[in-house]
Structures are given as C-alpha cells and as structure tokens.
Amino acid sequence: MIHTDDFAQHMSSMRLWFDPLPSEMGGPLNLLLPSNTPVISGTVAHYGGHWVHPDWRGNGIPGILLPMAKILTMELFGSDWDTGIVLSNSAQRRNLMAAYGFAKAELCYSGFFPPLRRDETFFLVRSTREQTLHDLPAVITGLREDGEEPVLTTRTGSRNG
C-alpha cells in the first residue's frame, strides 16, 4: 500500500519503483497524464506485473487473481484507489485490459524509462474504491459457474451498486 498526497508525483519521482532512488536513475519522469486526471491520493493499492507459466497462459489467470487482490486490499487495508501500470504491448490487448478490470486507462509516459533502461510507453490504469465496488460483482459473476451476482459488503459497510 502506498500512502500519498499525489500518486502522480510518486510515479514522476520514480519512488514507485525505487526508495531510495539510485543516483543513476536521474531526474523525474515527465508524465503525460491528461490534465483532467484526478489527483490520486490517500491509501493507494498498486498492482504490479505477474508472470504466468506458458502452459497456463490464456486461461484468464489475471482475471481471477486481480479481483481477489482488489477485494483483499480493500478489506484489509482500506484502499481508496486501485492502480497499475500497463506497458503498451499489453495495453493493446483488449481482452487482457478487460480482465484487469480497471475503470480508466490513460497514457502516462513515453520515452526512455530508466528502470528498464530502454524506451517504453506505459499507461496508468485506475479505479476509485467506489468504481471497484461497482465493477467487481460483474467480474465475479463471470467467474462463477452459477452466474449469480454476489453482493459485496466491506467492514465499513460500502456495498456494490
């Protein structure tokens, strides 16, 4: 969990990937987020990449694990936002983006990316707590054999819908 007043600043400073920042990483990243992107602040859940063995790829594993992770971080840590970074090659795959289940994807950065030591383009994916609560039942319904839509209630009493 990341506790921040401004998640974009957290990314720009590269503290998202390094703390402390190694001197060879240089200065801040020049983010390309649209001007109407809200300030992401508070308790931010940030989901990183995962590796799936080639024999298991294509079975929808991200669409199973990520909703479970979102439920757990919301319940255990009271996350206000769900975020992730998606590289351009993954962002072009509609089925993968749908499996991730974020409300919004926005171009975030394009250029030389010091952590990977190469040019890269990536997108910020994000959902508010309310958007996640609203969208998760449909995601879970898609996973359930009986097709029943669950009702989600957190300790704080937030409900989907």
pLDDT value of position 32:
97
pLDDT value of position 48:
83
Quick one: tokens of 59?
A: 């079975």
CB 107 within 8 A of CB 121: yes
Interval 46-80: pLDDT, tens? 998 777 888 887 777 777 788 888 888 998 999 99
pLDDT value of position 58:
77
Counting every residue, how long is the chain? 161
CB 115 within 8 A of CB 14: yes
pLDDT value of position 5:
97
pLDDT value of position 161:
45
| Paired sense of beta strands 2-4 and 42-47, if any | antiparallel
Nearest to 29 by CA among 10, 46, 13: 13
112 vs 121: CA distance, rounded Å: 9
| pTM (two decimals) | 0.81
pLDDT tens digits in sequence order for the chain, 161 residues long: 999 999 999 999 999 988 888 888 888 999 999 999 999 999 999 998 777 888 887 777 777 788 888 888 998 999 999 999 998 888 888 777 777 788 899 999 999 999 888 999 999 999 999 998 888 777 777 666 665 655 555 555 545 44
Q: Spell out the domains of the chain, with CATH numbers in brackets.
A: 2-143 (3.40.630)
pLDDT value of position 46:
95
CB 82 within 8 A of CB 70: yes
Strand partners, 154: none
128 vs 122: CA distance, rounded Å: 20
